[in-house]
């Protein structure tokens, strides 16, 4: 119910939203939970396992119960905490894990079965038979136990990610965080102050404390305004620091626009904050007391009750009882009474407690039972002299505080037990550069937090090399806090710990009886703390009960730990911008538009897109186009874009010696204007890559790599240059994107060039494997006479800005000669006919010897991979070595991946003699052709083998041939 006055809500601004389709009105400043409570709606969810009716127990991100789905369609957000979600006009909120409705949930039958569904039930029952698990048990369990569902639609990927850097990151903006931020900011440090809340203030916004002559809220507002006005401070509201990573890196989730109707702004932004120093001022979380049937809607934490009361002007009930073991219970009763709410009873576990309030007071008493179904109706207490039933529609529980030390555990820091406050506190130096303070460190008075914040900031400033300036801190309450450790009430009935996962104190006792005595085992056996709230409220209590059940102290039993993220982070935030094209950027060549304009299907080659083939009118299959393009190159002339091959410019006095080291062959003897084929090994003796390298000048080479290996080869060359031979003066520059390069291949390739070049090309001037400079339409070009097709071939390179124009020119000229453009399908056929290798053959496990290039390994100089390539085992003739394969029936295609067997042997893996790596239909030779590796291959020419592909059910005979199937002496390309 709404209190008539007070609160940080704007009563001038009513907000209308819906809950399960019904209209609800709140005020600006309300959360979904506070607005629903204001409308006397306490039932907000159902528990995970037993589908028990539940209401909110907190007013923050530690909420285990009030999880709802917000919004509709693809942007719907399941499992949103109603206690954090701000309301806005038009918001739709839907309850979860219930059917057909929240008030009547058919699966609540699980609750009646609960005696059979204790901890470990699933483990014990659904073990056998195995097939039943997948087909029967799991689908049923998944349907019965669950949270909100995703929309099933593609994520709109509207979130963002960002980086920020600072001297000091202050996490939390309560009294300690504000004092710390102010101290550091006044000293001149660059400060980021991050608060999970919508505004700075922390508990000051929820309590009735005064600081000097101001209310807590007034002081917090003034501090926030003062900080916001400083140029060296960035206040980040709605920003939860979710994880701590190495070297002062912090992950943080900013809820940018989840509090307004979805529109232009990104819903969230995931930040990587890099801070030289950080201060943990995250406060503390109030913990529950486990008493029988402590889960009914209307039972909530005393701290949350004060938050609803003082911040939102909402009471969870008209008659509220308060139960606790410390003075917070009394504070809660006082605040309730001040707001005009009837305090039904104040129940204090301490026998010596006193109270002068105008309410029934029961010292030395405990709650032993509660009544009500969809909301609390009453409770039974045990007090000195007997039991008593009390009518109440809400119950506030003050069990003491657990420091919110979660982030200090993220780098393996283990919290330590502090007896006087019966709580874990952060271990010292758990995170390098992170100083905990205030309630997060176990300091609970307002004055103590202010002072502690200043102290922490001064320590951080010292580490940063800044001198602190004196700042004034106001006077505030300094009440001592030393509650007795009260974990559970001993009484019959189910007492709940983990409310979301329905773990009871009995489950923990059962785990202990079954010898799951380690806290890690107990946790997994019972699922305690494994829900979306990660046991923020209940873990310490469960640990204490396990300690009690096993007769050990809490420190003996173990410690609690937490991993990132502190709150659930949507995958769409962490991966923002990484869906679709953000996941795999596209690289286009300069001929891309012209290719797609010709309806060429584009195929991915790494991040590049290359044309498969260029269909012409009347062609029905890719094979028809490919065959035509191959014949065109063999008989006339074809043009192909080869810009995607890696190009590395190598210059310097040490360039020649450098190349001699990275290639198996010798490049220092290569003459200017000449090109040589190079084979590059890894240091372990296997082939890394191959390509041609041209010598453009005395100290200037241009290397080409395969498309796939361009990046790795560049890194490898840099390693050799920087790591192995820093004495060599050599500079490496990737120029792949700078040059557009086109292959012109076929008997009429020279004619085509001569139709464009200002200087005529003759074979005397430019023999095979030479390079020169020329001019096309006034643009200087580089020309290389090389061939990957086996035909007379040239590659012509222009600065990329001329690529599109040159491509159009080349294709037009080729077409006027009867040729045209060809794609990578034809390119692949042409090279298989010629036995030229690609990464299908140099797949990382083949040596120079395996591919028949042992002669290319220089005997007179060292090179990378030389020593290892000579190892026994890498040079044996029985190795699987490169061969050509031709099916006995030309119509059969030996598919890559299929295996080769000696005739008469069983086609099993153990008998495999080799495998196929590349295959095609050769229109030139009118047969299928393949390349592959065969044990002792070159010694088995002419042998008939059995080809078997078990996956695709192929089984036929092939004949072993030389890898070069067409123009074996190379006369066509040498011209």
Partner 1 sequence: MRLTCPHCGERDLREFAYKGDALALSRPEANAELQAWHEYLHIRDNPAGPTRELWYHTPCGSWMVAERDTATHAVHRTMTPAEATK
Instruction: List interacting residues with partner 1 (CB under 8 A).
Output: 163, 245-249, 272, 274, 411, 432, 683-684, 714-715, 718-719, 722-724, 726, 732, 862, 866-868, 871
Q: Give the nearest distance from C-beta 298 to partner 1 in angstroms.
A: 47
Strand partners, 488: 290
Query: Which is nearer to partner 1, 246 or 969 (by Cβ)?
Result: 246
Query: Which is nearer to partner 1, 621 or 668 (by Cβ)?
Result: 668
Q: Give the nearest distance from C-beta 565 to partner 1 in angstroms.
A: 17
Cα dihedral across residues 129, 134, 140, 141: positive or negative: positive
Q: Give the nearest distance from C-beta 160 to partner 1 in angstroms.
A: 17
**Would you give the end-to-end CA distance of the chain in angstroms?**
95
Question: Both tokens of residue 820?
Answer: 């045209």
Strand partners, 596: none
* Contact residues for 57 (Cβ-Cβ < 8 A; gap 6+): 63, 64, 65, 66, 288, 299, 300, 301, 304, 499, 537
Q: Give the nearest distance from C-beta 693 to partner 1 in angstroms.
A: 19
Query: Which is nearer to partner 1, 116 or 163 (by Cβ)?
Result: 163
Question: What single-letter DSSP state applies at residue 384?
Answer: T
Query: Which is nearer to partner 1, 75 or 683 (by Cβ)?
Result: 683
Give the CA angle between residues 699, 700, 703 to the nearest 5°: 135
Q: Give the nearest distance from C-beta 361 to partner 1 in angstroms.
A: 53
Q: Give the nearest distance from C-beta 248 to partner 1 in angstroms.
A: 7
- 162, containing H or E segment: strand 160-171
Question: Both tokens of residue 543?
Answer: 């640990």
Question: What single-letter DSSP state applies at residue 856?
Answer: G
Q: Give the nearest distance from C-beta 155 to partner 1 in angstroms.
A: 22
Q: Give the nearest distance from C-beta 409 to partner 1 in angstroms.
A: 15
* Residue in 591, 583, 538 with CA at minimum distance from that of residue 560: 538
Query: Which is nearer to partner 1, 269 or 549 (by Cβ)?
Result: 269
Q: Give the nearest distance from C-beta 245 to partner 1 in angstroms.
A: 7
Query: Which is nearer to partner 1, 803 or 865 (by Cβ)?
Result: 865
Angle of the 749-756 helix axis to the 803-816 helix axis, nearest 10: 120
Distance (Å, rounded) from C-alpha 324 to C-alpha 196?
27
Contact criterion met (CB below 8 Å) for 386 and 408: no
Q: Give the nearest distance from C-beta 432 to partner 1 in angstroms.
A: 7
Strand partners, 700: 651, 697
Q: Where are the alpha helices (DSSP H) in 527-568?
A: 539-549, 554-557
Cα atoms in the 13 Å half-sphere on the side-chain side of 528: 34
- 814, containing H or E segment: helix 803-816
Question: Both tokens of residue 682?
Answer: 């890894």
Distance (Å, rounded) from C-alpha 867 to C-alpha 870?
5
Distance (Å, rounded) from C-alpha 682 to C-alpha 677?
17
Q: Give the nearest distance from C-beta 684 to partner 1 in angstroms.
A: 5
Contact criterion met (CB below 8 Å) for 781 and 775: yes
Contact criterion met (CB below 8 Å) for 589 and 641: yes
Strand partners, 194: 171, 236
Q: Give the nearest distance from C-beta 718 to partner 1 in angstroms.
A: 5
Q: Give the nearest distance from C-beta 677 to partner 1 in angstroms.
A: 23
Query: Which is nearer to partner 1, 698 or 872 (by Cβ)?
Result: 872
Query: Which is nearer to partner 1, 177 or 248 (by Cβ)?
Result: 248
Query: Which is nearer to partner 1, 117 or 273 (by Cβ)?
Result: 273
Query: Which is nearer to partner 1, 152 or 723 (by Cβ)?
Result: 723
For strand 160-171 and strand 269-280, is the pairing parallel, antiparallel, or unpaired?
Answer: parallel
Peptide bond into 242 cis (omega under 30): no
Query: Which is nearer to partner 1, 24 or 702 (by Cβ)?
Result: 702
Query: Which is nearer to partner 1, 597 or 715 (by Cβ)?
Result: 715
Query: Which is nearer to partner 1, 57 or 661 (by Cβ)?
Result: 661
Query: Which is nearer to partner 1, 659 or 774 (by Cβ)?
Result: 659
Distance (Å, rounded) from C-alpha 411 to C-alpha 566?
13
For strand 299-301 and strand 394-398, is the pairing parallel, antiparallel, or unpaired?
Answer: parallel
Query: Which is nearer to partner 1, 41 or 244 (by Cβ)?
Result: 244
For strand 191-194 and strand 210-211, is the pairing parallel, antiparallel, or unpaired?
Answer: unpaired
Q: Give the nearest distance from C-beta 253 to partner 1 in angstroms.
A: 18
Query: Which is nearer to partner 1, 247 or 354 (by Cβ)?
Result: 247
Query: Which is nearer to partner 1, 429 or 775 (by Cβ)?
Result: 429
- 973, containing H or E segment: helix 971-974
Distance (Å, rounded) from C-alpha 630 to C-alpha 61?
65
Q: Give the nearest distance from C-beta 275 to partner 1 in angstroms.
A: 11
* Residue in 596, 929, 948 with CA at minimum distance from that of residue 790: 929
Query: Which is nearer to partner 1, 298 or 654 (by Cβ)?
Result: 654
Distance (Å, rounded) from C-alpha 254 to C-alpha 250?
13
Q: For residue 385, which phi and psi values (nearest 5 degrees)?
A: 100, 0
Contact criterion met (CB below 8 Å) for 369 and 491: yes
Q: Give the nearest distance from C-beta 727 to partner 1 in angstroms.
A: 9
Q: Where are the alpha helices (DSSP H) in 568-680?
A: 571-574, 592-597, 622-635, 655-662
| Cβ count within 10 A of residue 872 | 6
Q: Give the nearest distance from C-beta 709 to partner 1 in angstroms.
A: 15
Q: Where are the alpha helices (DSSP H) in 212-296?
A: 216-228
Q: Give the nearest distance from C-beta 250 to partner 1 in angstroms.
A: 12
- 396, containing H or E segment: strand 394-398
Give the CA angle between residues 358, 362, 368 to the nearest 5°: 130
């Amino acid at each position: 119910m709404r209190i008539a006055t007070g609160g940080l809500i704007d009563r001038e601004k009513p907000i209308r939203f819906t809950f399960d389709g019904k209209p609800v009105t709140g005020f600006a400043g309300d959360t979904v939970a506070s607005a629903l409570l204001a409308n006397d709606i306490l039932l907000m969810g159902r528990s995970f396992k037993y589908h028990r009716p539940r209401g909110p127990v907190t007013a923050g991100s530690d909420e285990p119960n009030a999880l709802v789905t917000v919004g509709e369609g693809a942007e719907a957000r399941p499992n949103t905490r109603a206690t954090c979600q701000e309301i806005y006009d038009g918001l739709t909120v839907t309850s979860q894990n219930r059917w057909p409705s929240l008030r009547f949930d058919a699966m609540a039958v699980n609750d009646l079965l609960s005696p059979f569904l204790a901890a470990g039930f699933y483990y014990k029952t659904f073990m056998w038979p195995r097939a039943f698990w997948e087909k029967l048990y799991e689908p049923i369990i998944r349907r019965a136990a669950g949270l909100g569902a995703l929309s099933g639609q593609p994520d709109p990927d509207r979130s963002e990610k960002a980086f920020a850097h600072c001297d000091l990151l202050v996490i939390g903006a309560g009294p300690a965080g504000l004092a710390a931020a102010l101290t550091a900011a006044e000293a001149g440090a660059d400060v980021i102050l991050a608060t999970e809340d919508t505004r700075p203030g922390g508990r000051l916004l929820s309590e009735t404390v005064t600081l000097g002559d101001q209310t807590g809220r007034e002081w917090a507002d003034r501090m926030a305004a003062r900080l916001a006005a400083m140029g060296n401070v960035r206040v980040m509201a709605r920003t939860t620091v979710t994880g701590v990573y190495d070297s002062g890196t912090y992950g943080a989730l900013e809820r940018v626009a989840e509090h307004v109707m979805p529109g232009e702004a990104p819903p969230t932004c995931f930040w990587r904050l890099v801070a030289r120093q950080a201060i943990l001022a995250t406060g503390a979380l109030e913990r529950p007391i486990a008493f029988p049937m402590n889960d009914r809607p209307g039972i909530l934490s005393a701290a949350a009750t004060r938050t609803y009361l003082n911040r939102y002007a909402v009471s969870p009930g008209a008659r509220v009882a308060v139960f606790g073991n410390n003075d917070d219970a009394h504070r809660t009763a006082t605040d309730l009474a001040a707001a005009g709410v009837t305090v039904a009873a104040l129940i204090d576990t301490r026998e010596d407690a006193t109270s002068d309030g105008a309410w029934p007071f029961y010292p030395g008493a405990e709650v032993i039972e509660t009544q009500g179904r969809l909301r609390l109706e009453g409770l039974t207490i045990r007090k000195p002299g007997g039991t008593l039933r009390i009518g109440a529609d809400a119950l506030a529980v003050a069990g003491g505080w657990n420091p919110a030390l979660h982030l200090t555990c993220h780098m393996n820091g283990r919290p330590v037990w502090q007896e006087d406050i019966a709580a874990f506190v952060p271990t010292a130096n758990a995170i390098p550069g992170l100083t905990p303070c205030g309630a997060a460190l176990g300091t609970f008075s307002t004055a103590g937090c202010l002072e502690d914040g200043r102290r922490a900031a001064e320590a951080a400033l010292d580490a940063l090399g800044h001198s602190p300036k004196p700042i004034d801190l106001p006077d505030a309450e300094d009440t001592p806090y030393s509650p007795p450790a009260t974990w559970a009430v001993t009484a019959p009935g189910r007492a709940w710990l983990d409310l979301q996962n329905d773990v009871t104190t009995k489950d923990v006792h059962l785990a202990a009886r079954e010898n799951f005595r380690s806290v890690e085992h107990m946790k997994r056996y019972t699922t305690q703390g494994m829900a979306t709230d990660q046991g923020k409220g209940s873990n310490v209590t469960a640990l204490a009960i396990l300690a009690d059940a096993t007769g050990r102290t809490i420190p003996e039993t173990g410690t609690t730990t937490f991993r990132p993220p502190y709150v659930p982070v949507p995958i769409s935030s962490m991966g923002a911008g990484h869906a679709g094209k953000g996941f795999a950027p596209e690289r286009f060549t300069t001929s891309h538009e012209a290719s797609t304009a010709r309806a060429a299907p584009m195929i991915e080659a790494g991040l590049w897109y290359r044309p498969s083939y260029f269909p012409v009118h009347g062609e029905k299959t890719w094979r028809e186009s490919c065959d035509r393009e191959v014949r065109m190159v063999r008989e006339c002339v074809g043009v192909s874009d080869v810009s995607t091959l890696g190009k590395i410019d190598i210059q310097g006095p040490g360039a020649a010696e450098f190349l001699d080291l990275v290639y198996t062959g010798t490049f220092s003897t290569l003459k200017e204007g000449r090109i040589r084929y190079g084979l590059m090994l890894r240091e372990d003796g296997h082939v890394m890559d191959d390509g041609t390298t041209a010598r453009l000048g005395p100290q200037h080479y241009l290397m080409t790599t395969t498309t796939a290996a361009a990046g790795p080869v560049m890194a490898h060359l840099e390693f050799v240059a920087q790591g192995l031979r820093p004495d060599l003066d050599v500079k490496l520059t990737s120029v792949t994107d700078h040059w557009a390069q086109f292959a012109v291949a076929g008997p009429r390739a020279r004619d085509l060039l001569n139709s464009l070049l200002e200087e005529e090309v003759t074979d005397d001037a430019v023999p095979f494997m030479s390079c020169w400079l020329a001019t096309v339409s006034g643009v200087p070009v580089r020309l290389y006479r090389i061939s990957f097709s086996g035909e007379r071939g040239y590659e012509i390179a222009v600065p990329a800005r001329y690529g599109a124009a040159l491509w159009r020119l080349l294709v037009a000229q080729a077409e006027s000669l009867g040729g045209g453009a060809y794609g990578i399908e034809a390119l692949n056929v042409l090279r298989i006919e010629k036995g030229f290798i690609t990464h299908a053959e140099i797949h990382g496990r083949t040596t120079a010897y395996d591919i028949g290039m042992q002669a290319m390994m220089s005997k007179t100089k060292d090179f990378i991979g030389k020593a290892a390539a000579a190892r026994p085992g890498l040079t044996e003739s029985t190795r699987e070595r490169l061969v050509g394969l031709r099916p006995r029936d030309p119509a059969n295609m030996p598919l890559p991946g299929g295996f080769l067997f000696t005739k008469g042997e069983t086609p099993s893996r153990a008998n495999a003699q080799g495998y196929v790596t590349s295959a095609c239909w050769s229109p030139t030779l009118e047969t299928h052709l393949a390349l592959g590796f065969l044990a002792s291959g070159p010694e088995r020419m002419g042998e008939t083998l059995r080809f078997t592909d078990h996956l695709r059910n192929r089984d036929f005979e092939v004949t072993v041939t030389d890898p070069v199937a067409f123009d074996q002496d190379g006369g066509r390309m040498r011209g």
